[in-house]
Amino acid sequence: MFYRLLTLNWRIFISNLNRFQLLLTIGYILFLGIMLVNLVGTALVVVMMDSNPWMSVELPWLTPDIYLFVLLVFGNAFWLLHFSFTNMRLMNIEENRKLLGFGFPLKRLAKYLTIIGFCHPVNIIYNFTWLIFLLIQVDYAFQVPVAISAVALNYALIYSIKHRFIQVVEKRFIAVVFGFLILVFVLFQLISLFASNSSRIFAELIPQVETVNAFLSWLPGGMLIQTVTEYYGWMNAGIIFLFSMILVGLTVIDHFNKTKEGLLNPGLKKVEEESSTLWNFLRKVLGRNAGKYYFYVMKHPYNRLQVLTLTVIPIVYVPLLMNVEYEIAQTILIPTILAGIPVALLAMGMANMYGYENREFLLHLQFPVNLEKQLKERFLGVIILPLVVFYLITVFELLVIPEIGSPLEIFIANTFFFLMFMLLFVWSSYFQYQRATYSSFSYKHPIIPQKVTFAISFLIFTMGYFVFVPLSGLEWYRLTIMSTVIVIMGIYLWRHMDVLVNLFKNRVLMRLWNEL
Amino acid sequence: MERAVEIKNLVKCYEDEPVLRNLDLDIPPGTIFGLIGPNGAGKSTLIGVLTGLLSFEEGEINIHGMMLEPKNELEIKKLIASVLQPPLLFEQFSSLEFIEYVCEIYEVEKEGLIEKAYSLMDYFDIKDYAKIKVNKLSAGSRKKLAFVTSVLVKPKLLLLDEPFEAVDVISIERMKNVIRRLKNRGVTIIITSHILEVVENLCNDIAILHNGHIKAYLDSVSRKELQKDASLQEIFEKYVEVEQKDEIVDWL
């Protein structure tokens, strides 16, 4: 029965993969192999470093306290990695629960699914590395069962915490997003601070290493290390082992009950009233058609992640680059990153024109609403919103960081940048149209394909180099060329808005129908 | 007399495979018209063509005297409302937002609209879901919401594709009540259904569609005549040439 269940889940997994995803999966398996070797290798080096006589010659400062510090830092950093990457991909409950209808016993099904859920390869690699890392440090036999039970308990707790964390993320998306934003910002600022003052900080740290070690020992990674570095005798080992195993058992029972509940209550929908401030706002600002379109774009969790990325990157990098004493970084990288934001927003909007809202858009055909008008409003919406962001950024640059260039230079260069990419997206949407089945953030939702994301990033930085690199005496030639191109493109687009609509109707519409 | 729907030689293909073959059909105004047929007969395709969601290869369709062609398209669509199977709903809106959105497209007068929407939702026991997102509704509630919306846009022609599927018996009776009231106001209603009893009790005229053709058109007079000797089930089986296959499962 267990074999059949594995076969069923394997088939569900394989049947959902296209050829490209299959290649990605093979690559992923190779990556897992490399990851295992790297993790175990690093663990071995860290543990063995003080036993090698060469080390004491080359690294005279490696006292036992510093060695313990390195070990504890590694253990805690590894625990953080373990926590972050523990995979919570749950089994396909919807498909598996159908087995209940064919007489598969509920308890047995829940038990098997719980076990399969725990055995994700990434999770196994992390736990295996913990075991190697701890067991090579063992001095006494009684430490072995304690270390094993501690690794099991650690995994069970991480699994449980993450499970709850996922639920929290779903419920409080905005709070988590802003929390994450602040965390990343503070972290990068700290790294920047540490990098510029490392020798002073290190000199102050060494005398206090014992205190630091005492603190690190009681963090999760440190506690795991303590299971093999402390002497606590057989009696205490037995008690710790027993207590850990009881906790592991309780956690597994908890997951088993949750799986059972999930099997009996598929897709339990939370029926709650939701406010529609966003929809009302967008309808007022952009009109009914563009408003609905953007409302859908902003409702999609993966799009929200993309918006988050677009916000985090400049917030983190621009202040960092402002501190770098390298003029070219300020004059090219900062304006390029900032000019790239509206371009990325535009790309997001254009990509979604051919994305998941298509079905509903096409179903408007039964309503008394003009398709051309609808399309025109949507295109305008897709262009207007990034354009507003573009103007806000330009004003920000002029007021806050005027050192990156003169107002005229910034304004012309940004406008040129935006229009060039707009033409590129419009052109590629019609003539290079293909349904995206995987994206930077998700395999299943057609947002922006990875290859397009990479190609656009490359183009943005290349374009940034041409547009923003200082040319001193030749600057006026470049400004004249860019201004001329802007005027030509602007007049063309203004006069030929219908071209966009007709191209959509003639080139894309039928393909969308076929893909529904 | 002007017909509500007049179809001549309609041909609709899916990738060269004809689904509707030279179909002819006349439906008088103010009728509750039932379209029955086995799975794959082309019922939903015909509804799709009439709503404007599907194009057709050949033939002519007139709706209330206007030919279905690009220049009349918007005028005709203003006259039609539909409940499709599965129902067309915009998933990210709440029920009330969806109603408002569709009514805005149909340019329904705003005054009193919300009150009417609430009273109809109350009648179909979905008032509590007014501010709930559409994608959280159950199959039956979705069907009822689509029906309520189609009534609120005040159509002259109402197309209902399997309107009673997944709906509870009390709501089915209420839907029938609304359909009869609409008919009395002169609205033409086309219903497709697999439940023959419902069609038999509710509809004035019935057509049997099979293999893309109208095999029989039973108006109230001919129905009375035919149903003297046979039930609608028997008439249906006769026209769709049901093969007797019971012996295949004799082993049971």
Q: What does the H/E/C string look like for A355-390?
A: CCCHHHHHHHHHCCCCHHHHHHHHHHHHHHHHHHHH
Give the pLDDT confidence score for residue B147 in this predicted structure. 96
Closest chain A C-alpha to B155 CA, distance in angstroms: 11
Does residue B111 belong to any structural domain of this protein?
A: yes
Give the pLDDT confidence score for residue A439 in this predicted structure. 46
The mean pLDDT values, 10 residues at a time, for chain B of 252 residues are: 90 86 93 92 90 87 92 91 89 91 92 95 94 90 96 96 92 95 96 87 92 89 81 85 84 86
Does residue B250 belong to any structural domain of this protein?
A: no
Hey, of A274, A284, A298, A367, which one would you mutate to test binding to chain B, going by the most B CBs within 10 A of its CB?
Answer: A367
Hey, of B92, B127, B135, which one would you mutate to test binding to chain A, going by the most A CBs within 10 A of its CB?
Answer: B92
Q: How confident is the model at residue A200 (pLDDT cuts 50, 70, 90)?
A: low
* Alpha-carbon gap, residue A467 to A132, rounded angstroms: 53
Secondary structure (H, E, C), A475-489: HHHHHHHHHHHHHHH
Name the residue type at position A277. T
Using the Cα atoms of residue A38, residue A43, residue A46 and residue A50 in order, give the sign of their dihedral: negative
Q: Are A369 and B132 inside 8 Å of each other by CB?
A: no
Q: Residues near A2 by Cβ (< 8 Å), separated by ≥ 6? A: A112
Most confident of A14-28, A46-60, B83-97: B83-97
What is the arithmetic mean of pLDDT over A271-299? 81
- The contacts found for A437-446 with CB under 8 angstroms, 24 or more apart, are A437/A18, A437/A20, A437/A21, A438/A20, A438/A21, A438/A24, A439/A302, A440/A306, A441/A302, A441/A305, A441/A306, A442/A302, A443/A21, A445/A300, A445/A302, A445/A355, A445/A356, A446/A351, A446/A354, A446/A355, A446/A356
Whether B72 and chain A come into contact, CB under 8 Å, resolves to no
Please give the residue that has the higher pLDDT: either A366 or A181.
A366
Does residue B182 belong to any structural domain of this protein?
A: yes
Q: Is the pLDDT of residue A77 over 90?
A: no
Residues of B in contact with A292 (CB under 8 A): 90, 101
* Alpha-carbon gap, residue A129 to A150, rounded angstroms: 13
What is the arithmetic mean of pLDDT over A70-82? 83
Q: Are B94 and A299 inside 8 Å of each other by CB?
A: no
Give the pLDDT confidence score for residue A511 in this predicted structure. 64
Does residue B206 belong to any structural domain of this protein?
A: yes
Which H or E run includes A250? helix A233-264
Helices (H), A265-370: 277-286, 288-299, 301-323, 327-328, 334-352, 358-363
Residues of A in contact with B133 (CB under 8 A): 274
Q: How confident is the model at residue A325 (pLDDT cuts 50, 70, 90)?
A: low
- Closest partner residue to A271 (CB to CB) among B74, B75, B136 is B136
Using the Cα atoms of residue A453, residue A455, residue A461 and residue A463 in order, give the sign of their dihedral: negative
Q: Residues near A373 by Cβ (< 8 Å), separated by ≥ 6? A: A289
- A 267-326 residues with CB < 8 A to B: 269-274, 276, 279, 288, 292, 295-296, 299
Among A32-36, A144-148, A324-328, A407-411, which stretch is predicted with the lowest mean pLDDT?
Answer: A324-328
Most confident of A14-28, A86-100, B75-89: B75-89
Q: For residue B247, how many C-alpha atoms fall within 13 Å in the half-sphere facing its CB? A: 2
> Chains A, B: CB contacts under 8 A, how many?
58
- Closest partner residue to A368 (CB to CB) among B77, B88, B131 is B77
Q: Which residues of B104-142 are buried (b: 16+ CB within 10 A; e: fewer)?
A: ebbebeeeeeeebbeebbebbebeebbebbbebbeebbb
Whether B78 and chain A come into contact, CB under 8 Å, resolves to yes
Q: Are B80 and A363 inside 8 Å of each other by CB?
A: no
Give the pLDDT confidence score for residue B176 in this predicted structure. 95
Hey, of A289, A366, A372, A514, which one would you mutate to test binding to chain B, going by the most B CBs within 10 A of its CB?
Answer: A366
Q: Are A360 and B91 inside 8 Å of each other by CB?
A: yes
Name the residue type at position A243. F
Quick one: closest CA in A to B89, which residue? A360
What is the arithmetic mean of pLDDT over A361-380? 82
Give the pLDDT confidence score for residue A72 in this predicted structure. 86
Q: Residue B32: which CATH number?
A: 3.40.50.300
| Alpha-carbon distance values, A274 to A171, A174, A188, B94, B238 (Å) | 12, 15, 36, 8, 53
Question: Phi, psi at residue B161, to the nearest 5°?
Answer: -95, 110
Query: How many Cβ atoms from other residues are within 10 Å of residue A1's Cβ?
Result: 11
Residues of A in contact with B107 (CB under 8 A): 368
* Alpha-carbon gap, residue A419 to A486, rounded angstroms: 7
Give the pLDDT confidence score for residue A273 in this predicted structure. 65
Residues of B in contact with A287 (CB under 8 A): none
Q: Are A273 and B94 inside 8 Å of each other by CB?
A: yes
Give the pLDDT confidence score for residue B107 in this predicted structure. 92
Among A18-27, A376-385, B34-43, which stretch is predicted with the lowest mean pLDDT?
Answer: A18-27
- Closest partner residue to A273 (CB to CB) among B75, B78, B132 is B132
- Closest partner residue to A363 (CB to CB) among B88, B101, B136 is B88
Decide if B29 contacts B186 (C-beta within 8 A): yes
Whether B14 and chain A come into contact, CB under 8 Å, resolves to no
Which among B245, B199, B237 is positioned nearest to B38, based on CA atoms?
Answer: B237
Does residue B151 belong to any structural domain of this protein?
A: yes
- Closest partner residue to B52 (CB to CB) among A276, A365, A370 is A365
Domain holding B79, by residue range, is: 5-239
DSSP-based three-state secondary structure for B217: strand
Beta strand B188-192 with B32-36 is parallel
Is residue A135 classed exposed, middle or buried when 0-12, 13-18 and 19+ CB atoms within 10 A define those classes? middle
Give the pLDDT confidence score for residue B2 in this predicted structure. 80
Residues of A in contact with B104 (CB under 8 A): 288
Quick one: closest CA in B to A365, which residue? B53
Closest chain A C-alpha to B73 CA, distance in angstroms: 8
Each residue's pLDDT tens digit, A107-132: 888 888 888 878 877 788 889 889 98
Decide if A166 contacts A88 (C-beta within 8 A): yes
Number of structural domains in chain B: 1
* Alpha-carbon gap, residue A30 to A16, rounded angstroms: 20
Q: Residues near B20 by Cβ (< 8 Å), separated by ≥ 6? A: B10, B11, B12, B42, B45, B46, B49, B56, B212
Does residue B249 belong to any structural domain of this protein?
A: no
Is residue B205 classed exposed, middle or buried when 0-12, 13-18 and 19+ CB atoms within 10 A define those classes? buried
Which among B136, B132, B128 is positioned nearest to B94, based on CA atoms?
Answer: B132
Q: Are A366 and B77 inside 8 Å of each other by CB?
A: yes
User: What's the pTM?
Assistant: 0.68
* Alpha-carbon gap, residue A329 to A465, rounded angstroms: 11
DSSP-based three-state secondary structure for A502: helix
Name the residue type at position A510. M
Closest chain A C-alpha to B162 CA, distance in angstroms: 18
Which H or E run includes A256? helix A233-264
DSSP-based three-state secondary structure for A12: helix
Which among B221, B94, B215, B192 is positioned nearest to B145, based on CA atoms?
Answer: B94
* Alpha-carbon gap, residue A68 to A159, rounded angstroms: 28
Does residue B164 belong to any structural domain of this protein?
A: yes
Percentages of chain A per state (helix, strand, coil), in multiples of 5: 80, 0, 20
* Alpha-carbon gap, residue A372 to A498, rounded angstroms: 8
Give the pLDDT confidence score for residue A113 in this predicted structure. 82
Closest chain B C-alpha to A16 CA, distance in angstroms: 24
Using the Cα atoms of residue B168, residue B169, residue B174 and residue B178 in order, give the sign of their dihedral: positive
Give the pLDDT confidence score for residue A146 in this predicted structure. 93
- The contacts found for A448-454 with CB under 8 angstroms, 24 or more apart, are A448/A306, A448/A347, A448/A348, A448/A351, A452/A347, A452/A351
Give the pLDDT confidence score for residue A356 in this predicted structure. 57
Q: Are B92 and A296 inside 8 Å of each other by CB?
A: yes
Quick one: closest CA in A to B75, which residue? A368
Please give the residue that has the higher pLDDT: either B26 or A313.
B26
- B 23-62 residues with CB < 8 A to A: 51-53
* Alpha-carbon gap, residue B218 to B202, rounded angstroms: 14
Each residue's pLDDT tens digit, A399-438: 887 777 777 777 888 888 888 887 777 776 666 655 554 4
Residues of A in contact with B102 (CB under 8 A): 367
| Angle between helix A407-431 and A475-495 (nearest 10) | 40
Does residue B246 belong to any structural domain of this protein?
A: no
Give the pLDDT confidence score for residue A442 in this predicted structure. 43
Length of chain A: 516
Whether B71 and chain A come into contact, CB under 8 Å, resolves to no
Residues of B in contact with A367 (CB under 8 A): 77, 102, 105-106
* Alpha-carbon gap, residue B13 to B225, rounded angstroms: 35
Q: Are B53 and A365 inside 8 Å of each other by CB?
A: yes
Decide if A440 contacts A450 (C-beta within 8 A): yes
Quick one: closest CA in A to B72, which residue? A368
Residue owning tokens 């998700």: A442
Question: Phi, psi at residue B22, to the nearest 5°?
Answer: 45, 50
Residues of B in contact with A270 (CB under 8 A): 136
Q: Are B129 and A271 inside 8 Å of each other by CB?
A: yes
